[in-house]
Amino acid sequence: MTWNPTHLPTQSGRTFVVTGATAGIGYFAAEQLAAAGAHVVLASRSESKLRVAQDAIRSQVPNASLGSVVVELGSLASVDDAAAALAELPRLDGILLNGGAMSMGGRATTSDGLPMLLGTHVAANVRLVAGVLPALVASATAHTTVGRIVHASTGFVGLKRYDLNRVTAIPRTGIGAYTKAKTVTEVFAFELDRRLKAAALPVVSVVTRPGVGVDAKTPQRAGIRDSTTPYQRNPYTPWAQGKDTAAWSSVRGLTDPAVRGGEYFAPSGGQRGEPVAVPRFEHTANSATAAAVWRQLEELAGVQLAV
C-alpha cells in the first residue's frame, strides 16, 4: 500500500509504549505517535530524562497525551516492575522494543550477571513481552483490534551469521556482540509471530530497522538534540538521514493497518528513505534453530511465554 510517514492514520484512543524513548529514534517515534493522537507511554531508566522528553514532545505537540514508566533493562526486577505498571493501563495497543545498552565493552554485565548487550537487547525484552502480552491480548479483544509488538533490529544482521545453538556464546568484539544480539532478536520476533498465529491470538510481531540516523541531520529538540547533548560525528552523514526519519520504520510497524505480522520494515534506500516492507533474512526468518533459541531465551529471561 501507499504509506505516507508524515500523515499517519489517526491513532486516537490507542496506547503505545516506547522503550528507549528519551533520545534518538525512540524519542522521535514517541513524538510521531503522539502527533497522530495516540496516548504514548515513554519508558526509560532515567526519571529526569523522561520529564525532559515529555516536555520536548509537548513543545511540538501541545495536546500530546503522555505517560511514563521507569525501566532499567539491565535489571530483570526493574523489567518486572515496569511490566506490572504497563499491564495496569486501561488499554495497551502496542509496544516498540527500541531500548537497550549501546556499551561495546566486552566485559560489561547486567545486574543479573548477563552479558550487557544480550541482557538488555534480548533477555529484558523477552521478559517484558511475557509481562505485557496478556494486556495486549485483552485490549485487542476488547476493542476488536490487533496488538503490535515491534522489535528494533539492524542491517548488520545480514552481514554475518552466528551459531545460535548457544545464544550465550558472545562474540569477542562489541559490534559482533551487538549484531548477534539483534540476530537473536529477529529469530525471537519471527518465532513469536508464528506462535501467536498458531494460538489464534490477536497480536502480531514485526521487525524493523532504522537505516542510518545521524545527529547532523536530526531536528533540534530541547534536551534531546541541542547544544546541551553530546554530538556524535558519523562518516556516513552524506548518505544518511536524521533520527526522526529513522523512526519511520518502527512507527509504520505500530500503526499501518495493513500489517499482518511477520513483516520486516526498513528504509526504501537501505540507509534512508520512506519505510517499506523488505525481504526478511533467511537465517532469522526461517531458522531451523528457532525452537532451540526460544527455549534458551525463556531460560535466560526466567519466564515462559504463554504462546
Please, is 288 exposed, middle or buried when counting C-beta atoms within 10 Å of its C-beta (0-12, 13-18, 19+)?
exposed
The number of folded domains in the chain is 1
Q: Which three three-digit cell numbers place residue 197?
A: 498465529
Is 4 domain-assigned?
Answer: no
Is 10 domain-assigned?
Answer: no
pLDDT value of position 99: 95
Is 63 domain-assigned?
Answer: yes
Is 97 domain-assigned?
Answer: yes
Spell out the SS3 assignment of 245-297. Answer: HHCHHHHHHHHCCCCCCCCEEEECCCCCCCEEECCCCHHHHCCCCHHHHHHHH
Is 52 domain-assigned?
Answer: yes
**Residue-range definition of the domain harbouring residue 84:** 15-301
Q: What is the CATH number of the domain that holds 253?
A: 3.40.50.720
pLDDT value of position 135: 98
Task: Give the C-alpha distances (Å, rounded to integers) separating 47 from 70, 222, 229.
Answer: 6, 16, 17
- DSSP assignment of 153-183, as one string? --GGGGT-----S-TT---SSHHHHHHHHHH
Is 112 domain-assigned?
Answer: yes
- List the beta bridge partners of residue 267: 275
* Residues in the chain where the model's pLDDT stays below 50: none
pLDDT tens for 55-68 read 999 999 999 999 99
Instruction: Read off the pTM.
Output: 0.97
Return the beta strands (E) in the chain as ranges: 15-19, 39-44, 65-70, 94-97, 147-152, 203-208, 264-267, 275-277
Is 6 domain-assigned?
Answer: no
pLDDT value of position 1: 62
pLDDT value of position 97: 98
Is 307 domain-assigned?
Answer: no
